[in-house]
Amino acid sequence: MTQRIAFQGEPGAYSHQACVNARPEMEALPCRTFEDVIAAVHEGEAALAMLPVENTTFGRVPDNHNLLPQSGLHIVDEAFVRVHINLLGVPGARLGEITSAMSHPVLLGQCREFLKLHGIQRVTGADTAGSARHVAELGDRKLAALAGDLAGEIYGLDVLARHIEDQGNNTTRFLVMGLEPDFTHRGDHGMITTFVFQVRNIPAALYKAMGGFATNGVNMTKLESYMVGGSFTATQFYADIEGHPEDPNVRLALDELRYFTTMLKILGTYPADAARR
């Protein structure tokens, strides 16, 4: 099997950093879109996919919540990346010379206070790592990029200011996915099971479906709804719970859930990352 892990974005992106953190022994494969990441695994170009699903500041990544159930892949692990943002300039540049900073709009918005303090104008780029590459190629001492450490290393940029984000706890959660599920018990911090479901069209169906988790003492750490099939009435739910499907209390809760649903699909069971604690 190809020892690569695919991610969306340019080399140096935060998704690339997630690959380096979670699977340092694997070669990271950049892809243009999330769909390309999934296709790379199906086509044998990569063994695993690294997909972001939520951020503590900006919430979920909608594209991937819609892609996951139909991806044909299974969640085998999770990873968390603390989003530290640096001001990166061409070699020899100084902070006082910078008049403009380029990055993805999300990162520009996360550094408002720093940029305002130093009178630096914001320039919208396609993405973080791509902005770093552009700054390196342009060679303008007055233009900087907002990106992570890895992007600076890859494109040979100097760190003019480190960790300039306004919020000190910005973190992105990623899911590591592969072609085959792994239902083994593993890890030192318990197991997480992720699934999607649609409830039957009966009164209080969701309330009744959730009852089994409460009565069986299963902690649900995430429950989100989103529309499917372009319909306002077809709602699908995405959920994370603590535990393994073979645990007696989890098995009972899932059995009760099945009674109130028209569809239930387990996307994976995997070890909880230490960053959850």
Q: Residue 257 has which token pair?
A: 């859930």
Q: Is 172 known to be catalytic?
A: yes
**Catalytic-role residue among 34, 114, 172, 193:** 172
pTM of the predicted protein model:
0.90
> Is 134's pLDDT higher than 80?
yes
- The pLDDT of residue 147 is 96
CA distance 15 to 51: 7
Say if CB 90 and CB 139 are below 8 A apart.
Answer: yes
Say if CB 122 and CB 177 are below 8 A apart.
Answer: no
> Is 89's pLDDT higher than 60?
yes
- The pLDDT of residue 226 is 79
pLDDT tens digits for 164-220? Answer: 999 888 899 999 999 999 999 999 999 999 999 998 878 888 898 899 999 999 999
**CA quadruple 110, 112, 114, 118: dihedral positive or negative?**
positive
Q: Is 80 known to be catalytic?
A: no
**Catalytic-role residue among 174, 197, 213, 237:** 174
> Is 56's pLDDT higher than 90?
no
- Local structure of residue 130 (DSSP, 8 states): H
Could you give the C-alpha distances from 162 to 104, 148, 166, in angstroms and in order?
17, 9, 12
* Helix (H), strand (E) at residue 75: strand 74-82
* Averaged pLDDT of the chain: 93
